[in-house]
């Protein structure tokens, strides 16, 4: 696959930014706690499992949490959950302990202003507000921030 066609194919992907929503601990929410991830969305704003399969190497996540180092991982579609599959953020290929599961991600639309929940590393369910959903713009900064390896 040449570089131009690879870049064209990436136009099916979206970059989704989530910020921690209001909670007891953060009454105003927090832009310093959240996730920045890449996923293919269908016309209704749902993660598209067919396109995910095609682009799984590019479906990455960066977890940012104030006071902690950023973590980079992958968006994975695993067996289990209410619809026999669930979406998780996986930070280690060798263990499931660090996985963070999206609560009913298959049913939620990722549109700015919507809310989604994620079972964090502490195994508590946290609610996040979708801040932005933008087409992926390939840049060296994006490649480095998600540790992407672009095939040429």
For residue 42, tell me if it sits in a domain. Answer: yes
Q: Model confidence over 40-79: pLDDT tens digits?
A: 999 999 999 999 999 898 999 999 999 999 999 999 988 7
Using the predicted structure, report yes or no on whether residue 6 has a pLDDT greater than 60.
no
Q: Quick check: is 151 in a domain?
A: no
Is 150 a residue whose pLDDT tops 90?
no
Tell whether 74 is covered by a domain. yes
141 inside domain: yes
CB atoms within 10 A of CB 121: 16
pLDDT tens figures, 72-118: 999 998 876 555 568 999 998 766 566 888 888 888 899 999 999 99
In a domain, 16, yes or no: yes
Owning domain of residue 128: 3-145
Q: Is 150 part of any domain?
A: no
Q: How many domains does the chain have?
A: 1
């Amino acid at each position: 696959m040449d570089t131009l066609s690879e870049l064209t194919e990436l136009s099916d992907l979206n970059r989704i930014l989530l910020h921690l929503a209001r909670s007891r601990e953060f009454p105003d929410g927090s832009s310093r706690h959240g996730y920045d991830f890449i996923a293919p969305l269908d016309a209704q704003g749902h993660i598209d499992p067919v396109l995910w399969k095609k682009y799984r190497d590019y479906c990455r996540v960066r977890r940012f949490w104030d006071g902690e180092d950023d973590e980079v991982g992958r968006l994975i579609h695993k067996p289990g959950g209410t619809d026999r599959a669930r979406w998780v953020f996986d930070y280690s290929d060798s263990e499931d302990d660090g996985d963070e599961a999206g609560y009913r991600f298959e049913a939620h639309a990722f549109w700015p202003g919507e809310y989604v929940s994620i079972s964090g590393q502490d195994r508590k369910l946290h609610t996040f507000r979708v801040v932005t959903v933008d087409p992926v713009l390939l840049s060296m900064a994006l490649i480095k921030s998600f540790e992407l390896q672009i095939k040429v």
